[in-house]
Structure 1
Amino acid sequence: MNWGNVSRSIGAWPWASIGAVLAIVFAGAALIVSIRAAKDGRRSADATVLAAEEARLSREAAERSVRVAEQSLLDQRQEAAERRAAEVEANRPRPFFVIERSSRQAFYLRNTGTGRATGVTLSAREEPFIFNGVADGDLAPNDAVPFQMVGASGRPIPGTLYLTWDGQIEEVAVAVPR
């Protein structure tokens, strides 16, 4: 083999020049860099998609939290309003009645409560007895109104009388002292 011819033939190749060799090397390096950049770009895009999904989930959780907080606030306000209404109702002046005996057949219906009662009506359910009761009375706190009861036909006076007044439709039982 003639080595001289081989070296001349290598020199005749077009890519054998130094510039061509460097261009091929740089092109290969550029190819490697672009492949890695494409991989990094895909990873970055995937990370962006994940970050967007996490942001959406976070936003939904925040919206749920706001709804729960609003409902809790509404519940607290309602409970406070109910508590205030119960306090007002508990502190509202109310009449309270007792029957006092002044003699064998004379009695007083006394309002021992803190509120005025109008339209006071006293009634009995047991018969027979003579009853001169209270009808449409008006009693301020600590006021009393007289009435009379007498047993009839050998029967004693009733042990309980029943009251109604304006604002109290259901009858309230009041014990009669013996």
Structure 2
Amino acid sequence: MDMGDAPGWVGAGLGLAAFIVSLRSVKHSKRAAGAAEGSATAAEQSVVETRRSSDAAERSATAAEETLADQRREAAERRRQEEEANRPCAEFRIEHRNRAVWELVNYGTARAENVRCLDALGARDEWPAGLSVAAGDVYRFMMVGSMGAPIPSVLRVVWDGQDEPVPLRVPPRMG
């Protein structure tokens, strides 16, 4: 190529310019690749964090469901206890009337059917079978102690709906 060959010089200049542009393109491509790699790493970290957040949200939802279930159970138990407390029931006491006469008094709000004394002592009247005592009513019976069979300090009583014996304190005789 000689100095007077203008198209050759123009072509050489254009080739040099293309070479410089391609070097810069490679440099920018490397930067872009590094940025893309950093972006991919950030995306991976974001996925990991999203999974952690999702797991935490799932645990939180499970805990909230368990708490709600516990609250519902507690509310149901409170309602059951309130219903039980407000349910009419018999409440007995034994009172001494005079000498050998005693009274079984129902201070409760419900009638008691088939009231039975579990302590069978020969020194007292036997309660009739199918004894029923309404709320506020009194059943009078006799109980006399002796040296061999003193008056008990407690009588155990059951009735329909009350299978567990209820101990009733027998008060001391007055006179």
TM-score band by shorter chain is 0.7 to 0.9
Query: Is 1:144 matched up with 2:133?
Result: no
1:149 aligned partner, one-letter code: M
Question: What CA distance in whole angstroms lies between the structure 1 residues aligned with 2:153 and 2:145?
Answer: 11
1:160 aligned partner, one-letter code: V
Residue 165 of structure 1 aligns with which residue? Answer: 159
Q: Secondary structure at the match of 1:119?
A: strand
Shift of residue 151 of structure 1?
3.3
Give runs of aligned pairs for residues 60-139 of structure 1, distance below 5 A.
60-125=55-120, 129-139=123-133
CA RMSD of aligned residues (A): 2.8
Could you say which structure has the greater relative contact order, defined with CA pairs below 8 angstroms and 6 or more residues apart?
A: 2
The TM-score, its normalising length taken from structure 2, stands at: 0.81
Aligned mate of 1:50, from 45, 49, 53: 45
Question: What CA distance in whole angstroms lies between the structure 1 residues aligned with 2:69 and 2:12?
Answer: 85
**Greater Cα radius of gyration, structure 1 or 2:** 1
Shift of residue 166 of structure 1?
0.9
Residue 34 of structure 1 aligns with which residue? Answer: 29
Give 5+ residue unaligned stretches, structure 1: 1-7
Give 5+ residue unaligned stretches, structure 2: none
Shift of residue 149 of structure 1?
2.3
The TM-score, its normalising length taken from structure 1, stands at: 0.80
Q: Secondary structure at the match of 1:102?
A: strand
2:75 aligned partner, one-letter code: A
Shift of residue 153 of structure 1?
6.1
Cα pair distance change 1:120/1:38, threshold 3 Å: same
Any conservation in 2 of the 1:95–1:117 contact (CA below 8 Å)? yes
Moved over 6 A (4+): none
Question: What CA distance in whole angstroms lies between the structure 2 residues aligned with 1:71 and 1:81?
Answer: 15
Aligned length: 170
Shift of residue 155 of structure 1?
5.5
